[in-house]
């Protein structure tokens, strides 16, 4: 019998070729290993056929939305699209365009059998069906009512000093729009928007997805400082920058990847689940005997964003129904989960002293000087911002003054001094020098004749102010 003997070189080539074949990815070609894979989702629990239609359609049309929802706690609890988006046929926010989905001949769900009215906008009123306490707390917060607040105090709006487009792309992106419909759908000048004070078509205020972004609705995401930093940043309220500079922020940067972000609501424990607090830890999350709250107005003893610092209950645009002494004790109780009594008392004593010094040394004399300028006719009003000294005064409290107070509140010395009081001194001296010079000469301030973009409506939204 004749045997075929493979020489050593041939044998080596054969083994290498076989190994190469085994290493090739399974699929239709060598690139198949890098191809994206569709996330599987098996419907293993009972849900209405209309909900199945939502899932199967959006899985195909918007795989990103589907993947977010499939990974959420909602999905694991069998909470589907319909539980949040379903509406009554007579509701003002029903999507008329969505009904066209039930007329698609290329979809197995394109028939009236699956037709159900839905709203593209999920509101706190919708969320309250499962989260009533959170929705109630949120409704009384400054967040939910910020449209009312800014229309009461903001000269940019009241004097029409910025355009509608500037407001839509800037102010209203965080503060919220007043949603309206147009041509059977949402008015593009008011949507998309997830501002904290958005006024919804169902009458509710706010957007839970400002912090718990859709469609994951993650508790973890809302606990992280970056969630707050979407809006709380920049020259006028740099809380995210202040937090990052602080010792709390430094610890978060170093150890944040070790925090237990996914602890169940009501169980997130300082010293156990996290080493140092985030924004949510101090202002919202429960700790010790202090209960969780979605009202960020709680635990505040001062309104340090106001021109002159006042107690939250004395903040005229939106008086809080709280007692500042009670709320200070809540905040102290949170601090004392990690700090001793002497440390905590010392911090708040220093913070209160900073508030008093800013109000008396910087704001009060500058405010008195501004009143003299108007009284003597050196400055004309309204509108605001069209004269240089008005801008100087505004930025003294709205920029540097806020930074000094917020830096002290959150233990960020660079913001308290270099970005705060140091800049306050420069702004104050410049303002007072020019003001005195003009009062002595009697010369009126230059008034900008072609102030750009001053075309915004000065009419307060009736959806907010009707009956007030």
Q: Tell me: the pLDDT tens digits for 350-404?
A: 999 999 999 999 999 999 999 999 999 999 989 999 999 999 999 999 999 999 9
Q: What is the mean pLDDT of each run of 10 residues along the chain (468 residues)?
A: 46 47 46 61 83 93 94 94 94 90 86 92 97 97 97 97 97 97 90 97 96 96 98 98 98 98 94 97 96 96 98 97 97 98 98 98 98 97 96 98 98 98 98 97 94 97 89
CB burial readout 274-313, b (16+ within 10 A) else e: bbbbbbbbbbbbbbeebebbbbbbbbbbbbbbbbebbbbe
CA 143, 149, 150, 151: dihedral to nearest 10 degrees? 140
In sign, the C-alpha dihedral spanning 191, 192, 197, 200 is positive
Tokens representing 287 are 């700790």
**Whole-angstrom distance, CA of residue 211 vs CA of residue 204:** 17
Do residues 412 and 246 make contact, with C-beta atoms less than 8 angstroms apart?
yes
Where does residue 391 rank: exposed (0-12), middle (13-18), buried (19+ CB within 10 A)?
middle
Which pLDDT score is estimated for 104? 84
Tokens representing 293 are 């709250």
Which pLDDT score is estimated for 6? 45
**Whole-angstrom distance, CA of residue 330 vs CA of residue 332:** 5
Tokens representing 201 are 């078509």
Chain mean pLDDT for the chain = 92
Do residues 404 and 242 make contact, with C-beta atoms less than 8 angstroms apart?
no
Which pLDDT score is estimated for 183? 86
Where does residue 21 rank: exposed (0-12), middle (13-18), buried (19+ CB within 10 A)?
exposed
Q: Which residues pair with 178 in a beta bridge?
A: 199
Instruction: Calculate Rg over the CA atoms of the chain.
Output: 29
Tokens representing 468 are 């007030």
- Whether omega for the bond prior to residue 273 falls within 30 degrees of 0, making it cis, is no
CB burial readout 47-71, b (16+ within 10 A) else e: beebbebbbbbbbeeeeeebbbbbe
pTM for this one?
A: 0.88
SS3 of the chain: the string is: CCCCCCCHHHHHHHHHHHHHHHHCCCCCCCCHHHCCCCCCCCCCCCCCHHHHHHHHHHHHHCHHHHHHHHCCHHHHCCCCHHHHHECCCCCCCCCCHHHHHHHCCCCCCCCHHHCCCECCCCCHHHHCCCCHHHHHHHHCCCCCCHHHHHHHHCHHHHCCCCCHHHHHHHHHHHHCCECCEECCEECCCCCCCCCCCCECCCCCECCHHHCCCCCCCCHHHHHCHHHHHCCCCCCCCCHHHHHHHCHHHHHHHHHHHHCCCCCCCCCCCECCCECCCCHHHHHCCCECCECCCCCCCCCCCCECCCCCCECHHHCCCCCCCCCHHHHHHHHHHHHCCCCCHHHHHHHHHHHHHHHHHHHHHHHHHHHHHHHHHHHCCCCCCCCCCCEHHHHHHHHHHHHHHHHHHHHHHCCCHHHHHHHHHHHHHHHHHHHHHHHHHHHHHCCCCCECCCCCCCCCCCCCCHHHHCCC
In sign, the C-alpha dihedral spanning 118, 121, 127, 129 is negative
Q: Which residues pair with 303 in a beta bridge?
A: 310
**463 HSE (CA, 13 A, CB side):** 16
Do residues 55 and 67 make contact, with C-beta atoms less than 8 angstroms apart?
no
Place of tokens 């800014």: 150
**Whole-angstrom distance, CA of residue 259 vs CA of residue 278:** 11
CB burial readout 180-204, b (16+ within 10 A) else e: bbeeeebeeebbebbbbbbbbbbeb
Closest Cα partner for 400 from 237, 231, 156?
237
């Amino acid at each position: 019998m004749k045997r075929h003997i493979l020489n050593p070189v041939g044998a080596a080539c054969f083994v290498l070729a076989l190994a190469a074949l085994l290493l090739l990815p399974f699929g239709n070609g060598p690139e198949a290993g890098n191809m994206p894979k569709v996330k599987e989702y098996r419907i293993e629990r009972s849900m209405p056929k209309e909900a199945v239609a939502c899932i199967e359609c959006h899985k195909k049309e918007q795989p990103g939305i589907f993947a977010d929802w499939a990974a959420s706690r909602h999905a694991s609890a069998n909470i589907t699209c319909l539980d949040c988006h379903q509406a009554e046929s007579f509701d003002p926010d029903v999507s008329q365009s969505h009904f066209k989905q039930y007329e698609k001949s290329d979809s197995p769900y394109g028939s009236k059998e699956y037709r159900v009215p839905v709203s593209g906008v999920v509101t706190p009123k919708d969320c309250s069906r499962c989260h009533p306490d959170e929705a109630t707390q949120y409704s009384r917060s400054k967040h939910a009512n910020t449209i009312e607040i800014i229309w009461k105090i903001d000269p940019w709006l009241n004097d029409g000093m910025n355009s509608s487009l500037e407001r839509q792309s800037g102010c209203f992106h965080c503060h919220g729009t007043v949603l309206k419909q147009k041509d059977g759908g949402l008015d593009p000048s008011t949507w998309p928007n997830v501002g904290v004070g958005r006024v919804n078509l169902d009458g509710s205020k706010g957007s839970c997805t400002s912090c718990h972004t859709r469609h994951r609705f993650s508790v973890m995401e809302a606990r992280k400082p970056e969630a707050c930093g979407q809006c709380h940043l920049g020259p006028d309220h740099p809380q995210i920058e202040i937090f990052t500079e602080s010792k709390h922020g430094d610890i978060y940067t170093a150890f944040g990847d070790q925090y237990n972000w996914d602890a169940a609501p009501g169980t997130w424990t300082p010293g156990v689940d996290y080493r140092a607090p985030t924004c949510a830890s101090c202002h919202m999350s429960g700790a010790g005997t202090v209960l969780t709250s979605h009202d960020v107005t709680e635990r505040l003893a001062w309104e340090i964003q106001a021109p002159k610092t006042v107690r939250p209950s004395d903040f005229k645009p939106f008086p809080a129904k709280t007692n500042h002494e009670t709320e200070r004790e809540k905040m102290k109780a949170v601090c004392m989960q990690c700090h001793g009594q002497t440390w905590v008392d010392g911090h708040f004593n220093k913070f209160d002293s900073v508030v008093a010094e800013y109000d008396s040394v910087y704001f009060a004399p500058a405010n008195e000087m501004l009143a003299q300028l108007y009284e003597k006719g050196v400055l004309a009003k309204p509108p605001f911002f069209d004269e240089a000294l008005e801008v100087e005064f505004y930025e003294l409290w709205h920029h540097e003054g806020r930074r000094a107070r917020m830096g002290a509140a959150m233990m960020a010395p660079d913001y308290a001094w270099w970005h705060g009081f140091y800049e306050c001194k420069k702004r104050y001296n410049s303002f007072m020098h020019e003001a005195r010079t003009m009062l002595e000469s009697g010369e009126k301030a230059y008034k900008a004749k072609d102030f750009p973009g001053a075309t915004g409506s000065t009419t307060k939204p009736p959806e907010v102010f009707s009956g007030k």
